[in-house]
Amino acid sequence: MLCKLSFKNIKKSFKDYAIYFFTLVLGVSIFYVFNAIESQTVMLDVTKSTREIIDLMTDSLSAVSVFVSFILGFLIIYASSFLIKRRNKEFGIYLTLGMSKRKISMILFLETLFIGVISLGVGLIVGVLLSQLMSLLVANSFEADLTSFVFTFSKSAFVKTLIYFGIIYLIVMIFNTINVGRCKLIDLLYAYKKSEKVKLKNPILCIIIFIISCVLLGYSYYLVTAGVNKITSDAKIFIPIILGALSTFFIFFSLSGLILRIVMKMKNIYYKGLNSFTLRQISSKINTTVFSCTIICLMLFITICVFSSSLSIKNSMTANLKTLAPVDIEIKKTLDIPIEEIDNYGYTYEQAMDSKLSVRQTLEKLDFNPNLYFTDIIEFNLYATNDITIDKTLGSYYEKIKKEFPYLSYSTPESFVKLSDYNRVAKLFGLEELTLDDNEYIVVADYDQWVPIRNGGLKAGTKINLLGKDYYPKYDHVVDGFIDISNNHINVGFFVVPDDAVDESIRQQNVLIANYKAKSDKAKKEIEEKIIDLNNHPYANNTTIGASSKLSIYEASVGLGALVTFIGLYLGIIFLISSAAILALKELSESADNKERFRMLRKLGADEKLINRALFRQIFVFFMFPLLLAIIHSVFGIMFCNYILSTLGTDEVLTSIIMTSIFLVVIYGGYFVITYLCSKNIIRERR
Amino acid sequence: MFCNIKITTNELYRYKMGTERNDFMENILEISKVEKYYGNRSSLTKAIDNISFSVSKGEFLAIMGASGSGKTTLLNVISTIDKVSSGHIFVDGIDVTKLKGNDLNKFRREDLGFIFQDFNLLDTLTAYENIALALSIQTVKANEIEKRIKKVSEDLGIKDILKKYPYQLSGGQKQRVASARAIITNPKLILADEPTGALDSKSSRMLLESFNYLNDEKGATILMVTHDAFTASYANRVIFIKDGKIFNEIRKGKSSRKEFFSKIIDVVTLLGGDLNDAL
C-alpha cells in the first residue's frame, strides 16, 4: 500500500521535477566518468614519466571526488527538503486520515529509495556510455595512440559511485525523517495559505548598504589586481575573499530592495503590461532568496575561474614547447662544492669530490659516452660570486623595487655567462647573437614579471664590479632569451659578459647542451631511456648531475595540462550543474505556486504572449542576476589567477575564456531554457 | 489609433462569427438554449439544462440556487472560463461561445469584469497595483491609470487603503478593491460569483451598497450569482435555478428592498428544503 502510494507520487511529480531527476542522473554519471578515468589510462601506451603523472591525476581526481560528493550531497539534501516542503498539504491530508508520522516517513523513505535506485541505475548506464567517449579525450590529452577501441568498464569506479551516492541518499532519508517528525498538522494544512508579508526595505538604508558593499567589493577587487603586492602572506588572501563574499551578499540584499523602488518611480514602465506583476514577483522572491543568490553567484564565480584557469594552464603548457625547448637535452651540475661546507648543504663527500669534474667527465664515469649518443654538443660554465647579488645589480632602482616587492630574494647571487659561450648556445637555439665592448654587459631574461625589474636596473645604468673591473649595461633593456630548456618563460635573468671578465675561480655550474644522435622519435626515446637508466648506475649517488630533456618536459607539460584540465572540468561541471539545478528547482516550485496567480491574470484577460513574456523575464532575471555579478567577480578573479599563474608563465587567456563561455552557455543556458519550458508547462491552463 | 482598432475589432467578431447583431440593443447579455453536460455517456449530468434568458443594459441581476443547482457553471460559461455543450451566449451581440485564443483573452479583458468569492487579488501587489494591473494589461498609460484609480477609489471608499497589501486588508476592503478592479475597465458586464460569500454581514451590506451605487449611478450591468437571499435582495431581478433549469423569476419593480427580500424568501420556501440552509 505504502509502496504503491510512494510509487504513484513519484510518477505524478516526475514531470514537474524531471529537472531534479536529470540533475541526479548527471551527477551520478559525471562522478562515474571521472573516477573511471584510471581504468582507461591503463590501456594507454605511454612512457614511464607520463604514467607517473597519470597516477598523480587519478589520485587528485579521487581526492576531488570526496569534495564533489559533499557538494552533490548538499545539493540533493537541499533539493529534497525543498521538494518535501512543497508537499505539506499532501502530508497534512495523510495525517488527518490517521496515518502515523512513522508511516509518512516510510513513504518518503521509499520514495527516496526509488528515486535513488532509478537515478543511480540510469546515471551509471549513462556514465558507462559517456566514459567511452571520455577514453578518447583521455588518450588525446596524453597524446597516446588509441590503437583499438576497447569498451572499458571500471568496477572500482562503479562500486565507488554506488557507495558514495548510497551514503548521500541515506543521509537524505535521515533528514527527511527528521523533517517530517518535526512538523505540525496545522502548519501542514495551512502552510500555503499563509500570505507572505511583502516588506519594502528602507530605501535609504539600502542605498547606504549598497554603497558600502560596492566600496568593499571595489577594495577587494583592488587587492587582487593592482594592489596585489599587499597580499604578503597566505593568510591575507582571505581578506579579499571574505570581503568579496560579504559584499556580494549585501549587494543582493540592498539591490533587491532598491530595484523595485526605482522602477516603481518610473510609472510609465512600471504600469505597462504585466511589468508591475513581474517586478513584484521577482522582488518578493529575492527578499527570501538573497542568501541562495549569493551562494549561487559565488559558485558560478568559482566555476568560471577554475575552468578558465585550468584551460589557460593547459594551453600555455603545450604552446611554447617548440621555441623554449629547442634541443633534446640539457645536463647540468654544480661545480666546486667546498668540502668544508658539505654538511650545510646536505652533500656527501663523494659528491663534493665529483663536483670538480665536468658534466662530460661525470657522464664517462657513469659509463656513458656523450659522443656516441649526442650531437651538436655545447659545453660551458656558468659563473657566480657572492659579491654580486640581485640587489647590487639593480643599483639605484633597488630601493624603489624593494618597496613594491619586498619579498623577492634579493640576496641571490647573479649568474654570468661568457659572451662566446652564449653566442654558441644562441646559434643552436636560434636566438639573437650578441656583441659586447670591453666594459659592457647585457642581461638576458624572458620572465614577464622580472623583465620590468631588470629593465629598471638597466635604465639606471647600474655599474657592476666583477673581479675588480667595472662593467656598464650595453642596453637599457633586457635581451629576450634563455639557456635552460623548459616549457615556459621562466628565465629571471643572467648576465652576458666579455670572455675575459670571469675566470675559473668563480665557476659555479657546468652545462652540457646537446641533441640526440637519432633520427626517429623511437630512437630518441631509446636514448632517453638509456639516460634515465643512468640513475641505477652505482656511481649515480656520488654526483649532483641533473638533466632536463625535451621529451620529459613535453610529457610533463602534456600530463600536467591534462591533469588540470580534467580537474577543472570535473569541478566546473559539478559546480555549474549544482547551482543551475538549485535555481531551476526554486523557479519550478515557484511556478507551481504561481499557477493561481497566472490563472488570475488570464481571468483579467492577459494574453498568453504577455503571460509567457512575464514568466520568461522572471526566470531570466533569476538566472542572470547571480551570473552577472559572478562575471564581474570573475574578471578580477581571472586577473588574479593569471597573476599567480604567471609564475608558470601562462598567457593563453582569450581561448580559455571563450571555451569557458561556451561551456557556461551550454550548461547554464540549457538549465535556463528547460526551466522556462517546464514552468510554462506548469502554469498552462489545461482544458 | 487604438480607439479605432477597438471599434473595428468588435465589427470584426461579428463578421467572423457570422452572427447578426441582436435587435434588442439594450440587451447586453443574451443566453439562448444553453446546455452544459458533465461526465460521459454512461453517467451524464446536466449542470445546465436548456436555459435561456437575457440581461438588459444597466440591469442588476441575481441568480439564486442551492449548491449543485448549476449557477456557478452558468457564470463560468458566460465568463468563457468554461465551454457550453450547446447553445449560444451573446455579449453585446457577439457570440462568445465561438471565441478562441487571444480573442477570448481580449473579450475578457475588455468586455468583462470579475468579482470572485475569494477576491483573487494578487498578494504580491498593493491594492493600487492590483487595480492598475487590469488597465496596464490593456496598455493604458500610467497617468491615465492614476486618474481613473483616483476616481474609482473615491466612489468605492477605498482611497485610504490603496497603498496596502491584500494581507493588510479586511475581507470587505479586499472585495471592494476587487470590485474597483472589475469596473475600472468600464466593462460591458460585471460578473460576481458569491461576492459576499466570504464577508461578514456588515461588510456584505457595504459591498452591496457599492454595487447599487455602481448600478444606479454608473449604469453598470451586474450579473451576480449567490445562494444568499439577503444578497440577492439588492438586485433588480432574481432568477432562481434548480437542477440546471430556471425555476422562477421575480422582479423588484417598485417594491422596497425589504419587500423584495420577503418575496425572495417566499420563492425559496417554494423551492423546498435545499435552499433553506441559505437563509
- DSSP code for A396: T
Instruction: Give the pLDDT confidence score for residue B238 in this predicted structure.
Output: 92
Instruction: Give a yes or no: residue A330 inside a domain.
Output: no
Q: Is the CB of A275 less than 8 angstroms away from the CB of B123? A: no
At B11 the pLDDT is 46
How far CA B17 is from CA of A607, B34, B79, B112, in Å, comes to: 21, 18, 18, 19
* Domain presence at residue A584: yes
Mean local confidence (pLDDT), A366-389: 87
Give contacts of A 177-236 with B, CB under 8 A: 195-198
| A648 vs B130, residue with greater confidence | B130
Q: A411 with A527, same domain? A: yes
My answer on whether A684 and A562 are in the same domain is yes
End-to-end CA distance of chain B: 51
For residues A366 and A419, membership in a common domain is answered with yes
Cross-chain Cβ contact A198/B105 below 8 Å: no
Of A271, A601, A604, the CB nearest to B142: A271
pLDDT at A183 over 50: yes
User: Do A149 and A87 fall into the same domain?
Assistant: yes
Identify the band that residue A354 occupies on the pLDDT scale cut at 50, 70 and 90. confident
Considering the entire predicted model, what is its pTM? 0.74
- Chain A, 593-612: which have a CB under 8 Å from a chain B CB? 597, 600-610
Greater confidence, A239 or B5?
A239
Is A197 in Cβ contact with B110 (below 8 Å)? no
Q: Please tell me if residue A267 touches chain B, with a CB cutoff of 8 Å.
A: yes
Examine residue A331 and state whether it is found in any structural domain, yes or no. Answer: no
Cross-chain residue pair A603–B108, CB shorter than 8 Å: yes
Of the residues B78, B105, B135, B189, the best mutation for testing chain A's interface (the one with the most A CB atoms within 10 Å of its CB) is: B105
Q: How confident is the model at residue A191 (pLDDT cuts 50, 70, 90)?
A: low
Identify the pLDDT of residue A431. 86
Q: Give the pLDDT of residue A258.
A: 81
Query: How high is the mean pLDDT of chain A?
Result: 82
Whether residue B109 and residue A606 make contact (CB cut-off 8 A), yes or no, is yes
Q: What is the average pLDDT across A164-173?
A: 88
- pLDDT, one tens digit per residue, over A103-146 is 888 888 888 888 888 889 999 999 999 888 888 777 777 776 66
Domain boundary among A543, A560, A575: A543
**CB-based burial, B64-88: b 16+ in 10 Å, e otherwise:** bbbeebbbbbbbbbbbbbbebeebb
Task: Give the count of domains, chain A.
Answer: 3
**What phi and psi values does residue B177 have, to the nearest 5 degrees?**
-65, -45
Residue A333 lies in a domain: no
Chain A with chain B: Cβ pairs closer than 8 A: 87
Determine, for residues B136 and A607 on separate chains, whether the beta-carbon distance falls below 8 Å: no
Chain A residues closer than 8 Å to B131 by CB = none
Do A102 and A181 belong together in one domain? yes
Q: With a cut of 90, say whether residue A46 has pLDDT above it.
A: no
Question: What digits encode the pLDDT tens for the residues A283-316?
Answer: 777 666 788 888 889 989 988 888 888 877 777 7
pLDDT of res. A139: 78
ipTM for this model: 0.71
- Closest Cα in chain A, distance from residue B111 (Å): 10
B83, B109, B120 ranked by CB distance to A605: nearest: B109
Give the mean pLDDT of B182-196.
Answer: 87
CB contact under 8 A, A605 and B112: yes
- Cβ burial A519-554 (10 Å sphere, 16+ → b, else e): eeeeebeebbeebbebeeeeeeebbbbebbbbbbbb
> Does residue A507 sit in the same domain as residue A620?
no
From A267, A273, A277, residue closest to B139, measured CB to CB:
A273
Predicted local distance difference test score (pLDDT) of residue A123: 93
Q: Looking at chain A, which residue has its C-alpha nearest residue B129? A: A276
Residues A263 and A146 in one domain: no
Please tell me the predicted confidence (pLDDT) of residue B5: 41
B128 against A403, higher pLDDT: B128
The predicted-structure confidence for B47-89, as pLDDT tens digits, reads as follows 888 899 989 888 999 998 887 788 888 888 888 878 888 899 9
Among residues A543, A574, A597, the one where a domain terminates is A543
In chain B, domain spans: 2-121+186-278
Q: What is the pLDDT of residue A234?
A: 67
Residue A411 is assigned to a structural domain of this protein: yes
> CA separation (Å) from A448 to A124, A303, A489, A563, A655?
47, 27, 7, 25, 20
Same domain, A432 and A351: yes
Residues A507 and A468 reside in one and the same domain: yes
- Over residues A169-187, the mean pLDDT reads 79
CA distance B171 to chain A (A): 14
Give B193's strand partners.
Answer: B225
**How much is the pLDDT for A197?**
55
Over the stretch A632-674, which tens digit does the pLDDT of each residue have? 998 888 888 877 776 555 556 677 788 888 888 998 999 999 8
Q: Note the pLDDT of residue B15.
A: 42
Smallest CA–CA separation between B25 and chain A, in Å?
25
Closest A-chain CA to B165: A198
More confident residue, A232 or A109: A109
pLDDT average, residue stretch A383-396: 84
Q: What is the pLDDT of residues A527-580, one digit of tens each?
A: 888 888 888 888 888 888 888 888 888 887 777 778 888 888 888 888 888 889
Angle of CA points A196, A198, A202, to nearest 5°: 145
Q: What's A536's DSSP letter?
A: G
Q: For residue A608, what is its C-alpha cell?
A: 498568453
Domain containing A683: what range? Answer: 199-325+551-687
- Minimal CA separation from A14 to chain B, in Å: 28
Pair A584, A296: CB distance under 8 Å: no
Q: Are residues A294 and A409 in the same domain?
A: no
Q: Which CATH class is domain B2-121+186-278?
A: alpha beta
Q: What average pLDDT score do residues A474-495 get? A: 85
pLDDT, tens digit, 9 for 90 and up, residues B193-223: 888 888 888 888 888 888 888 888 888 899 9
Q: Residue A124's closest CA among A66, A163, A168?
A: A163
> Would residue A113 be called left, alpha or beta, if left means φ above 0 and alpha means ψ between -120 and 50 degrees?
alpha
Confidence of residue B17 (pLDDT cuts 50, 70, 90): very low
Q: Is the Cβ pair B124, A281 closer than 8 Å?
A: yes
- Domain final position from A543, A576, A602: A543
- Do A179 and A220 lie in one domain? The reply is no
Mean pLDDT, residues B179-185: 87
A196 pLDDT above the threshold of 70: no
Structure confidence by residue, pLDDT tens digits, A588-636? 877 777 788 888 888 777 888 888 888 898 899 889 988 999 999 988 8
